[in-house]
Structure 1
């Protein structure tokens, strides 16, 4: 609970239904932790015409048990332990994490990580680390695309109507995607044999920046288009020069391109500056996410 409380004008406009949806959602979220403001809003609603009708309905409902026959007494329910409460909590966590973590995206991340290790040690492929570093920054971007929107979540319309929807829900699911992909792919990079490619952790900042860029661009063009632009742009930047290299130099050219994009203080500093810029733009355009990916 913070020191902020709803003003009288805000409470009055909420009671008569004239408060805009984003402001109403923010107020409702505040009421979850502030009993004083909740009591003021309740009084404001009761003073409206709708409040009078609701009061009459409430009195009619409360009068029913007085005239209705008494219901037979039932045996007391057995005391519940704390174990069943774990399941609803786990269900809420999985819903907030998003369809990507619950669905096929997680096996895909495992396939990328273990596939790179298998290529390096099973097939003696020397280009396993450069290939992993080229693909790794796109993995969390793809996870964001698969975790938010009506195309991925059958309950998206319901979730989008809650006070916790919009940018908050998008960031929650993005954090779940990053929490899975970042450590797993970095560990796979550490296990791979060293080569001329950058270190195993060199992709972390670019991967975070590409994810933030996708979220920022999603406020303009939608989540799927934004992730396709950022992820596709990265793959074209690192893979196109390698594929155009003369015969037999694919791995060497890919390592050179990755070193140019990921290695060194200048490259990492550029990615850090881009991440900060994307975060600022994301915060500035927060209202645009209240109706993101809604039909």
Structure 2
């Protein structure tokens, strides 16, 4: 698919011909469509090739019909005057909010704020000394939930439109995951720093586990879908942390939770294991990348 170096490649004649007759595999077609957005030469060659097919004749008829309708009923022309400048392009912030997805745009962001503020209220307003331990138990599953809420037809009203673009698939999932992590990691960590320790692990001890659980959810999603994968990873974490606490007496539940969190979060070996899990999940994501193209269209 290249003529030239990696930074300056152009579509070959055979590739253009296969695209025009519809025999090019879908991932390669998406790659070519993405390339012609910034390459006028290849765009012109693809256009000529498509015009020479049966589909090109149909497109030409459609174009003529649209132009004829425009002549019969022209669209109103907005006068450009010093008092009425041209309409500005959509701001970058609006495009960014669309890209990062429903999790950051919708109810998820207030939910993260509620978790952080609720922990602060328990710690200082409610006299609950184990508020940091409770926050650390919940924090690793917050980004997992954010990813589940930001990706897929159940969450995104523009899902079908996005699925038809070259920017879909794993690239879109990673963009929205980065947005979710960029909001939740600093916000919940700062909230943990402001809470009294009371025997709980450090406020930043959950960062690697949260990252590993999120990447693990993405990797598992290539097999079973985002919602199921998020439920498995989040549920597994909560069971591992909270199950031992359920057997403790009521007056010792906070201390038991802090003890269990220390096992799951504290220590070089434990953090190293979480880092290894994050690396393995990333490697599995690379291997399973084509599955995200099917996931977008399933």
Task: With the length of structure 1 as denominator, give the TM-score of the two structures.
Answer: 0.90
Q: Judge conservation of contact 1:100–1:144 (CA < 8 Å) in 2.
A: yes
Q: Judge conservation of contact 1:127–1:251 (CA < 8 Å) in 2.
A: yes
Count of equivalent residues: 292
Q: Judge conservation of contact 1:150–1:294 (CA < 8 Å) in 2.
A: no
Q: Judge conservation of contact 2:139–2:206 (CA < 8 Å) in 1.
A: yes
> What is the match of residue 3 of structure 2?
none
In the alignment, the residues of structure 1 paired with residue 254 and residue 76 of structure 2 have an alpha-carbon distance, to the nearest angstrom, of 77
> What is the match of residue 15 of structure 1?
20
**Correspondence list, 1:1-295, <5 A:** 2-55=7-60, 76-78=79-81, 84-87=88-91, 89-292=92-295, 294=297
In the alignment, the residues of structure 2 paired with residue 272 and residue 4 of structure 1 have an alpha-carbon distance, to the nearest angstrom, of 37
Gaps of 5+ in 1: none
In the alignment, the residues of structure 1 paired with residue 76 and residue 37 of structure 2 have an alpha-carbon distance, to the nearest angstrom, of 35
Cα RMSD (Å) of the superposition? 2.6
In the alignment, the residues of structure 1 paired with residue 40 and residue 77 of structure 2 have an alpha-carbon distance, to the nearest angstrom, of 35
Q: Deviations over 1:173-223 (max 9, x none)?
A: 111111111110011011111221111111011101100000000000011
In the alignment, the residues of structure 2 paired with residue 136 and residue 5 of structure 1 have an alpha-carbon distance, to the nearest angstrom, of 47
Q: Judge conservation of contact 1:14–1:24 (CA < 8 Å) in 2.
A: yes
In the alignment, the residues of structure 2 paired with residue 218 and residue 109 of structure 1 have an alpha-carbon distance, to the nearest angstrom, of 23
Q: Judge conservation of contact 1:223–1:293 (CA < 8 Å) in 2.
A: no
Displacement of 1:73: 10
Displacement of 1:113: 0.3
**Secondary structure of the corresponding residue to residue 251 of structure 2:** coil
